[in-house]
Amino acid sequence: MLIVELIKNLFRKPETVRYPYETKGLNFPERLRAMHVIDQDSCIGCSKCARACPAFVIQMVPLTEEELAKRNEKIKRKRVKPVIDLTACIFCGVCEEVCPTDCLNLTNQLVMPSGRKEELEVG
C-alpha cells in the first residue's frame, strides 16, 4: 500500500501554486469580496457608503474643478466623491449593499500588493 501511495505521489501535481505569480487553477468563488470598483459617472455622491462603513475607511473627497466640469447631466448636484483606503478596508461589502445606484462594486480581483499608498486608494 505504501508503495502505491509513494508512486502516486511522485507523479501528482503540487497542491499549491506560486501565488501571486501564478493564478491558474485557483477557483475564486463568485461571492468573493476583494478590490472595489467605483463608477464615478453614475455615483451621485450621497455618502451612504461612507456612513455605513464599519471600518471608517471611505472618505468623501470634494471634486476638483476639472471633475466638476466633466460631470454629466444626471449627476449635476454631485460635489463629493468616495475614496476608499484599501489598506484598512475589511472587505465586508456593506458599501456595495447600501449603494443606491449600484456604482460601487466589489470585484474578485485579489492581487493588490503595492509599495505605494496612493495605489491602494480607490476613487
Partner 1 sequence: MNEEQTSFNIGPQHPALKEPETFRVIVEGERVVKAEAILGHTHRGIEKMAESRDYNKTLYLAERICGICSFAHNANFARAVEFVADVKVPKRAEFLRVLVAELERLHSHLLWLGVLAHEIGFDTFYILVWNDRETIMDLLETLTGNRVNYGMNRIGGVRFDLNDEIKKIMRDKIEEFKPRLEKIRDVVLNSKTIIARTNGVGRISKDLARKTCVTGPTARSSGIDWDLRRDEPYFIYEQLDFNVPISDRGDVYSKIILRVKELFESIKIIEQVLDLIPSGKIFQDVRGRFEGKAVSRIEAPRGENFHYVEFRKSKNPYRLKVRAPTYANVVSSVEALVGHHIADIPVIVAANDPCFSCTDRTLIIDRDKGRYQIMSARDLRKLSVETTKEVMQ
E strand segments, the chain: 36-38, 58-62, 80-85, 104-106, 121-122
What's the residue count for the chain? 123
Q: Which of residues 83-122 bind partner 1 (CB under 8 A)?
A: 90-94, 97
Q: Which is nearer to partner 1, 63 or 94 (CB)?
A: 94
Binding mask 37-56 for partner 1 (x = CB under 8 A): ---------------x-xx-
Residues 6+ apart with CB under 8 A from 71: 63, 78
Q: How far is the CB of 65 from partner 1 (least distance, A)?
A: 34
Q: How far is the CB of 74 from partner 1 (least distance, A)?
A: 28
Q: Which listed residue (11, 12, 15, 25) binds partner 1 by CB under 8 A?
A: 15
Q: Which listed residue (31, 76, 77, 116) binds partner 1 by CB under 8 A?
A: 31
Q: Which listed residue (14, 25, 29, 115) binds partner 1 by CB under 8 A?
A: 29
Determine the residue type at 32. L
Rounded to whole angstroms, the maximal C-alpha distance in the chain is 74
d(CA 6, CA 24): 26
Find the angle CA(32)-CA(50)-CA(86) to the nearest 5 degrees.
45
- Residues interacting with partner 1, by CB under 8 A? 15, 27, 29, 31-33, 52, 54-55, 90-94, 97
